[in-house]
């Protein structure tokens, strides 16, 4: 019979030590004798300095109050003040039996008192009671430590969206909590159904193996196929064990605890731990691994979703850039006729000047005058072409301080011929105190140009375009309003005007206002419309003064 408890008996009287040792050894306890206070403290310190796997901790101290070298009360106080020893119960033995002596011992932390002479049955009963309390305290302390460690692991893995970091933190945490020799984390391939070893941790060595198991192969494969945990205490003789795993990683597996990784009842992999260092795997180990597997599964799913979302965001950004560029070209196409006319005028002037210069002999003064006129028209032509190139070239610029009025003037210059041919009068009411805003200039120019062209097309018989800028009432933003005197919009058209591919015209992509809406939204602003049929329309762009997108 053995109770597997280590009891330290401290007394300077050899007969007392032998008598108590006989009593306790007959009950199956392991006894460690100490004949002085100094020897007792050395034994206690030596126990806590041993590695965990070789440690034989003292579970109870029976301590005589009166000893020649170190007083029993001092030893008890030293035990209770040491963070590693303070949970060891102490039964003090005294031959005096005074109330003062008992009170002093209890005050410094003694857990119980026995007076000499004592009955054997009473001492054994008190020892058993103290060891029961010790066991419950140890269990509670262990659970507290495990929960604290679980909380730290949970915080670490759920705060990361990097797959490799999650795998490393999870395996290191699991190895520390369960005190195992090694562990591995496997993920199920969605395309091939194979279990792949993503991370193996053996001691302090961490490896990514890439080794794969077929469905149902190995202990992990069985756990995944079964959909529940597996505990194998003799792996080498278990028919489910896969020896080629040990061969691949150079490891000898004796015992295994494996649990599947599940997300919403879908199995995505498994965690297995190998060779417990301080005994056999038990139900508590299973509970801990199951709990950690739940947290790891959620963290892995979050990382997967984040990766998918990042990929989607990149594709969306790419598509948006392509859409913006396509709409730029469409807008330039809508200006094509007036731009062609604008280019043709300086070309015709250049042609006439050169023709006159070459046709007949001219004096130096006339020749220089004609050539000067040709040069002016060439520079005008260069300006027109540069303006067009700046507009339709794919933008690589980011947010920068932008003067809204400068953008408006550039757009009006670019569309001047279209406005002229459409018999459109432009009226401007620009605020004098408008500060620069943070914007992508090229994109803002595209929005304003689209609104100007739309206004021109809404006034086929000519009309007036009013452009007004002002600060918002709370001065946290500004607005730019484009008002035309055209045909106006119905309520239904106003509801759908910013939807992709919606158009009120016989031709057109129906993307201009949708793209403009997206651009302004990405600048942290908004765009709205007010209109009545037959009474024109006002498109107002609101922009924040400090946009950060």
* The two three-digit tokens of residue 374, written as one number: 């040709």
Whole-number pLDDT of residue 342: 56
Residues 63 and 404: their CA atoms lie apart, in Å, by 88
**Among 498, 527, 538, 531, CA closest to 515:** 498
Question: What six digits make up the tokens of 169?
Answer: 């933190």
Report the pLDDT value the prediction gives residue 2, as an integer from 0 to 100. Answer: 47
DSSP single-letter state for residue 265: T
* Residue whose C-alpha is closest to residue 30's, from 47, 5, 55, 10: 5
Domain borders along the chain are: 6-145, 160-304, 398-549
- 10 Å CB burial of residue 92 (0-12, 13-18, 19+) is buried
Q: How far is CA 132 from CA 28, 80, 139, in A?
A: 15, 19, 11
Distances (CA, A) of 85 to 147, 347, 530: 21, 99, 79
CATH 3.40.50.1820 fits 398-549, yes or no: no
Count of beta carbons in the 10 Å neighbourhood of residue 280: 10
Asked whether the beta carbons of 545 and 435 are under 8 A apart, the reply is: yes
For the CA atoms of 120, 122, 123, 127, the dihedral, rounded to the nearest 10 degrees, stands at 140
For the domain spanning 160-304, the CATH number is: 3.30.450.40
pLDDT at 245: 75
Contact (CB, 8 A) for 531 and 472: no
Strand partners, 483: 466, 538
Q: Structure tokens of 36?
A: 């002085």
End-to-end Cα, the chain, rounded Å: 75
Joined tokens for residue 502: 């919606």
- Residue-level pLDDT at 33: 93
Strand partners, 269: 187, 261
| pLDDT tens digits for range 330-366 | 555 555 555 565 566 667 767 777 777 777 677 777 7
What does R_g of the chain's alpha carbons equal in angstroms? 43
Please give the CATH topology (third level) of the domain spanning 6-145: Rossmann fold (3.40.50)
Task: Calculate the alpha carbon distances from 512 to 187, 230, 325 in Å.
Answer: 46, 61, 11
* pTM of the complete model: 0.44
Tell me the DSSP string of 424-467.
EEEEEE--TTPPPEEE-HHHHHHHHHHHHHHHHHT-TT-EEEEE
What residues of the chain score a pLDDT lower than 50?
1-2, 52-55, 548-549
Q: What sign results for the dihedral spanned by CA atoms 539, 544, 545, 547?
A: negative
Cα–Cα distances in angstroms (integers) from residue 513 to residues 327, 453, 484, 519, in the given order? 10, 11, 16, 10
Taking the C-alpha atoms of 100, 102, 106 and 112 in order, what is their torsion angle to the nearest 10 degrees? -170
Angstrom distance (rounded) from CA 267 to CA 124 = 52
């Amino acid at each position: 019979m053995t109770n597997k408890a280590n009891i330290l008996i401290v007394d300077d009287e050899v007969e007392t030590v032998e008598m108590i040792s006989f009593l306790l050894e007959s009950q199956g306890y392991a006894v460690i004798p100490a004949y002085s206070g100094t020897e007792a403290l050395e034994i206690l310190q030596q126990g806590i300095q041993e590695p965990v796997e070789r440690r034989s901790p003292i579970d109870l101290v029976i301590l005589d109050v009166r000893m020649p070298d170190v007083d029993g009360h001092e030893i008890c106080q030293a035990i209770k003040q040491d963070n590693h020893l303070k949970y060891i119960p102490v039964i003090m033995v005294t031959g005096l039996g005074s109330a003062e002596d008992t009170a002093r011992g209890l005050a410094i932390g003694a857990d119980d008192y026995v007076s000499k002479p004592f009955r054997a049955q009473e001492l054994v009963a008190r020892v058993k009671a103290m060891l029961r309390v010790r066991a419950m305290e140890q269990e509670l302390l262990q659970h507290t430590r495990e929960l604290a460690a679980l909380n730290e692991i949970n915080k670490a893995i759920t705060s990361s969206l990097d797959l490799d970091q999650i795998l490393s933190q999870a395996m290191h945490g699991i190895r520390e909590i369960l005190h195992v020799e090694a562990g591995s984390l496997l993920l199920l391939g969605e395309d091939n159904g194979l279990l792949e070893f993503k991370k193996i941790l053996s001691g302090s060595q961490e490896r990514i193996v890439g080794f794969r198991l077929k469905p149902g192969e190995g202990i992990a494969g069985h756990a995944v196929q079964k959909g529940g945990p597996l505990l194998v205490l003799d792996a080498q003789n278990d028919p489910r064990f896969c020896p080629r795993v040990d061969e691949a990683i150079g490891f000898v597996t004796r015992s295994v605890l494996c649990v599947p990784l599940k997300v919403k009842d879908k199995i995505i992999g498994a965690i297995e731990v190998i060779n417990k260092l301080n005994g056999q795997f038990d139900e508590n180990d299973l509970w801990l691994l199951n709990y950690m597997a739940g947290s790891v599964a959620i963290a892995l799913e979050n990382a997967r979703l984040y990766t998918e979302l990042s990929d989607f965001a990149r594709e969306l950004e790419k598509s948006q850039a392509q859409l913006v560029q396509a709409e730029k070209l469409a807008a330039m196409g809508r200006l094509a006729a007036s731009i062609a006319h604008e280019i043709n005028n300086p070309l015709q002037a250049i042609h006439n000047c050169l023709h006159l210069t070459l046709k007949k002999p001219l004096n130096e003064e006339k020749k220089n005058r004609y050539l000067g006129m040709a040069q002016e028209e060439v520079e005008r032509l260069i300006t027109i072409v540069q303006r067009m190139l700046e507009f339709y070239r794919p933008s690589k610029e980011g947010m920068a301080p932008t003067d809204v009025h400068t953008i408006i003037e550039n757009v009006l210059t670019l569309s001047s011929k279209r406005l002229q041919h459409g018999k459109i009068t432009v009226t401007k009411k620009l605020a004098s105190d408008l500060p620069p805003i943070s914007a992508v200039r090229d994109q803002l120019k595209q929005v304003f140009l689209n609104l100007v062209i739309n206004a021109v097309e809404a006034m086929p018989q000519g009309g007036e375009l009013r452009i007004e800028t002002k600060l918002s009432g709370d001065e946290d933003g500004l607005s730019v309003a484009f008002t035309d005197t055209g045909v106006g919009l119905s309520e239904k058209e106003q509801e759908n005007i910013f939807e992709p591919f919606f158009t009120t015209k016989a031709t057109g992509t129906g993307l201009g206002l949708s793209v403009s809406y997206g651009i302004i939204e990405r600048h942290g602003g908004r765009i709205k419309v007010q209109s009545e049929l037959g009474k024109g329309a006002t498109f107002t762009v609101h922009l924040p003064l400090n946009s950060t997108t």
